[in-house]
Structures are given as structure tokens and as C-alpha cells.
Amino acid sequence: MLPTLWSRIKQSFFKSSAQARPHGVGLTDIGKKRSRNEDAILVSDDLQLYLVADGIGGRANGDIASKLAIESIANRFSAAHNKDAASLIEDAADEANRRIYTQSQIKNTQVEDTLTLEETRRKPMGTTLVALAIDGEKAIIAHAGDSRAYRLRKHHLERLTRDHSLAEFKTDDSMPSAPLNPRFKNVITRALGIESEVEMEIRREILNQGDLLLLCSDGLTHMVSDQEIETILTKNKTEASRCQDLVDTANHYGGKDNISCVLVRYE
């Protein structure tokens, strides 16, 4: 009995002490064509929370929207105790959506930060969001818009999100086969702050030791193919170097938009 009991204790101890944890790095870059970076990212191993937000709306609106989203969600996670991660992401995104939507509806001179009344009235602000929360061996991925999440497992890259965009919507069999006007190719169909409510798409995954998760804005995926991303991520480099390589490759191909990526290693 005693040897068996001791064996179980040792197995339990070493299993818990060897518990895999996420380690993240991130990088955001203005790109080659834009005068302002409207992307925002969060990398928090302490909260086990990782975010990429890509602001939309132009002028000062987009960067404020993305920052509001990041701040709102990070604050909600910091204040939370023992709550289901998926519910927490949804609640935090709802709160961020309300803050951005309210800010975009301001019609008086009491506006926040550098957002002027003229800019507020010109366009509503909004932001895409892709979020990763890790709870033990579970990964909860939530997104709205065309910022994406990928997983590299055993040198194979798999896309974990679908774009909420007209271009992706046209791939549905129920849609007419007529080609999409290039003017509308990048129009997104879901984002935070555009409407008073937003529905996040939630995906749950079980993580394996060694999984590498990528969150990124469309400034990367519009310039660099999935195959090239896979090649970069399978190189024998640090996560920080791989992030830099992703950004450099997007800029090499023109850098037409802001470029953001977050890499999270689970080991």
C-alpha cells in the first residue's frame, strides 16, 4: 500500500510542478503606408490573456477604439476572481463595446483625450478584436472582425477563426457566385463599437505541450500568405525573432496597413 501511495503522490507532485504555462511576446508596427498606428495589443502572462485589436474609423477614431478595447478587457480580467474565462471574455467585450459605442455617439464638447467634436461626428469608431485566454490546458479564443488566431502544432499551421467580412461571407454556398467588388473586399461585418451590442464568436481548444498560438491583425494576413506564416513560425528562432520576421515580411511586401502579431507558446 505504502509504495503505491507514494508513487501516486510523486506522480501528482511532478505533474503539477511541470504544469505547462503560456509565454507570450508581441509586436505592433505602423507599416509602410499609414501615418498612424491604429492597432493595439496586450501580452499578459500574469493574466494569461492576449489581445490584438485593429481600430477602424480613420483619423483619431481607430486608435482610440482599439486602446479602449484593450484597456477595458484587461481591467475586467484584473478585477475578476474565479470566473469562467469564456464568460469573462464575453462580459469584458460587451463592456468594451459599450464604452466605444458611447464614445462614438458623443455630441457635445466634453470628449475624451484628443478626440475632437468634429472627428467624433465624422465617423463612428470601432475595432476588430481577437482575444486568447488560457485556463489550465484550455484555450478560449474570441473574436469579432477580421483579426485572426492560428495554432502551430507539430509544424502544421491551422487557422482557428473565420473573418467576419464580406469577402469571407461570399464563400458561403448560399451566396451568389458573382465576384465581390474589390471596393468591398475588406469590409468587415462585425466589430466592437459599431452597434450598441456585439456578438463575439467563441472557440474552445485543448492545448498540447509545445503549441504555438498566433494572434494577428489583417495588416499581416493581407500581405503574407498562410504558407509563408507557417514557414516563418517553424524556423528555429525565439518567439520574439519570429514576431519580427512576420512584421518584416509584411513590410517587405508593401506594408499597406498597420501590422500586429502576438505569439504565445504553451510549454
Cα separation, 267 vs 263, in Å, equals 13
Q: Is residue 44 domain-resident?
A: yes
Domain that holds residue 55: 22-266
Q: Is residue 15 domain-resident?
A: no
Burial letters 195-220, b for 16+ CB under 10 A, else e: eeebebebeebebeeebbbbbbbbbb
Return the number of other C-beta atoms located less than 10 Å from residue 107's C-beta: 8
In which residue ranges of the chain is pLDDT below 50? Answer: 1-2, 9-10, 12-17, 107-112, 117, 120, 173-180
Angle between helices 239-252 and 226-233 (to 10 degrees): 150
Check residue 7 and give its pLDDT: 52
Angle between helices 85-104 and 61-79 (to 10 degrees): 140
Q: Is residue 113 domain-resident?
A: yes
99-113 per-position pLDDT tens digit: 999 988 763 334 445
Check residue 155 and give its pLDDT: 95
Check residue 111 and give its pLDDT: 46
Q: Is residue 120 domain-resident?
A: yes
Check residue 9 and give its pLDDT: 45
CATH of the domain at 80: 3.60.40.10
Tally the domains of the chain.
Answer: 1
**Residue 205 CB contacts under 8 Å (≥ 6 apart), including other chains:** 138, 139, 141, 151, 160
Predicted TM-score (pTM) of the model is 0.85
